[in-house]
Amino acid sequence: MSIRRGPKIANPTSSEASSDLGKTIQRLRKAYNLSLGELSEQSGVAKSIISQIERNETNPTLSTVVRLSRALETTVDEVLRGEQTSLFVDHQTKSGIPILESQDGLCRLAIVGPLNLVEAFQWYDFHAQVGGVLESSPHPLGTIEHLYIVSGELEVTTGSETKIGKAGEALRYRADVTHKIRNLGTGAAHAVMMLALKQFGAQQ
């Protein structure tokens, strides 16, 4: 147990690449709302292994990591560095990493639908508990955000304008400025968000 071959590696199991891979993989998996089984199917990696990787109990093979990062629409390096990006949604950088929870822990964004999205559109599933606030820094110029409120009540502030939407309503607003989504209602809120980047089809 003690005597190992590698004289350099401090820690036998954890991948030695400082930032724990596991947490990042898990964050991404959850951001896509995938279960271990689903990611296993998508990536071709046994779910038992994914489980172990997420808990840093194994030192995965390169091919395994490649398959996982492909299924998660990202690159190996991106997964490696773990980049919290510190903020919430930051898609400026393509293949940016969507993140799970807002700072207050009350909001949750998840990428919706099939993987392999085209660049121009991004779908999200948005959950906000009472009082939750999601603040996003500006997206690329021309980006429009569509918010379809499934249940609850949400207030959107973009620039200096503020609007309130109730269940069944849809809000549409520019997302190339700082914007906020707030749950001021009495219960949890659920919405579907679409981000349309400028390129083509800014409408619909």
The answer to whether 66 contacts DNA (rule: CB under 7 A) is no
Binding segment (CB under 8 A) for a copy of itself, from list 10-18, 100-108, 150-158, 173-181: 10-18
Which residues have a Cβ under 8 Å from the Cβ of 53 and sit 6 or more positions away?
A: 21, 22, 25, 60, 64, 68
9 touches a copy of itself (CB under 8 A): yes
Residues written for the chain: 204
Residue 167's Cα: distance from chain center in Å?
24
Q: Which of 82, 51, 83, 78 is nearest to 66 (CA)?
A: 78
Beta-carbon count within 10 A of 89 CB: 22
Binds DNA by CB under 7 A, chosen from 18, 63, 75, 95: 63
Identity of the residue, 40 or 158, whose beta carbon is nearer to DNA in the bound complex: 40
198 binds, among DNA, a copy of itself, none (CB under 5 to 8 A by kind): none
**Residue 22 and residue 50 in contact, taking contact as beta carbons nearer than 8 Å:** no
* Among positions 35, 48, 63, 178, the unique one binding a copy of itself when judged by CB under 8 A: 63
Among the listed residues 4, 84, 119, 166, the single contact to DNA using CB under 7 A? 4
* Interface contacts to a copy of itself, rule CB under 8 A: 6-9, 15-17, 21, 44, 59-67, 75-77, 80
